[in-house]
């Protein structure tokens, strides 16, 4: 692993905690509590607006990855300053993570895959050395995602993902589960924000639920998301009768 914990130390946080993103309960929690990573694969799960993507982006910035996504150790001409969270977040690096950071950009391995910016970024790096050979325009959205994942997630490193299931079918999600498992076995660390009960079911993964309560560690079968999916698949009408006129 590369990161063993995160928090916002006193003096680096906001003057008042009621400003975004520190007003988000999951982020605000870090002002007083440290989040420890206990497994090579960690899933951050929560509703829209819960702060899971904000946390992953903050970790990316604090580690030195481009907030829009991309490879570790590369600069993409992004002159934007770090976000308030990226500047405030403290990463407790493992010895391995510290060695990689000290070794310089060329020694860094990893990738930040952000679903909402992936294809805009892919167009910008198309044809550059060290990326995929395929023309993603000739593939479906989901196929393009898998090409990026299979090409870029190929060495032990820190891999951050923000809702990678966005473009993937059920079977493609299963392929991603296999890739995450292989990464964990290779010595990589994966931190993934997701809505997917398929991805978050990876055996041995650490599951953290974020929401109005802040941050709490839980089990896959205790997730509110999983309960809703089970109920919906068993009887869609129980949900749809409140949404669709009979």
Q: What is the pLDDT of residues 214-246, one digit of tens each?
A: 999 999 999 999 999 999 999 999 999 888 876
pLDDT of residue 77: 47
Find out whether 187 and 159 touch, Cβ atoms under 8 Å. no
Torsion of CA 129, 131, 135, 140, to 10 degrees: -170
7 vs 149, more confident: 7
- Residue 223 CA, chain-centre distance (Å), reads 18
Listing DSSP states for 208-238 in one string gives EEEETTEEEEE-GGG-HHHHHHHHHHH-THH
Find out whether 147 and 134 touch, Cβ atoms under 8 Å. yes
- Per-domain boundaries in the chain: 3-219
Q: What is the pLDDT of residues 136-176, one digit of tens each?
A: 777 777 787 888 888 888 889 999 999 999 889 999 999 99
SS3 state of residue 52? helix
- Answer whether 0.85 is exceeded by the pTM: yes
Predicted confidence (pLDDT) at residue 119 exceeds the cutoff of 70: no
Q: What is the pLDDT of residues 54-101, one digit of tens each?
A: 999 999 999 988 777 777 766 554 556 788 899 999 999 999 999 888
Is it true that domain 3-219 has CATH number 2.40.160?
no
pLDDT of residue 15: 80
């Amino acid at each position: 692993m590369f990161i063993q914990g995160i928090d916002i130390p006193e003096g680096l946080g906001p003057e008042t905690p009621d400003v975004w993103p520190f007003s988000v309960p999951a982020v605000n929690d870090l002002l007083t509590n440290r989040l420890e990573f206990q497994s090579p694969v960690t899933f951050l799960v929560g509703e829209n607006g819960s702060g899971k993507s904000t946390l992953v982006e903050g970790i990316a910035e604090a580690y030195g990855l481009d907030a829009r996504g991309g490879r570790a150790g590369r600069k993409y001409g992004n002159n934007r300053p770090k976000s308030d969270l990226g500047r405030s977040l403290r990463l407790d690096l493992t010895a391995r993570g510290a060695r990689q950071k000290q070794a310089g950009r060329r020694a860094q391995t990893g990738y930040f895959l952000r679903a909402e910016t992936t294809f805009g970024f892919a167009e910008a790096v198309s044809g550059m050395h060290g990326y995929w050979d395929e023309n993603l325009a000739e593939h479906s959205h989901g196929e393009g995602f898998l090409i990026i994942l299979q090409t870029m997630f190929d060495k032990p490193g820190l891999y951050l993902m923000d809702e990678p299931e966005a473009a993937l079918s059920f079977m493609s999600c299963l392929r991603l589960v296999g890739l995450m498992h292989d990464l964990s076995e290779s010595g990589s660390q994966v931190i993934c924000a997701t809505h997917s009960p398929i991805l978050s079911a990876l055996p041995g993964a650490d599951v953290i639920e974020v929401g109005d309560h802040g941050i709490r560690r839980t089990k896959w079968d205790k997730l509110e998301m999983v309960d809703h999916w089970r109920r919906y698949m068993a009887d869609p009408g129980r949900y749809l009768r409140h949404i669709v006129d009979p």
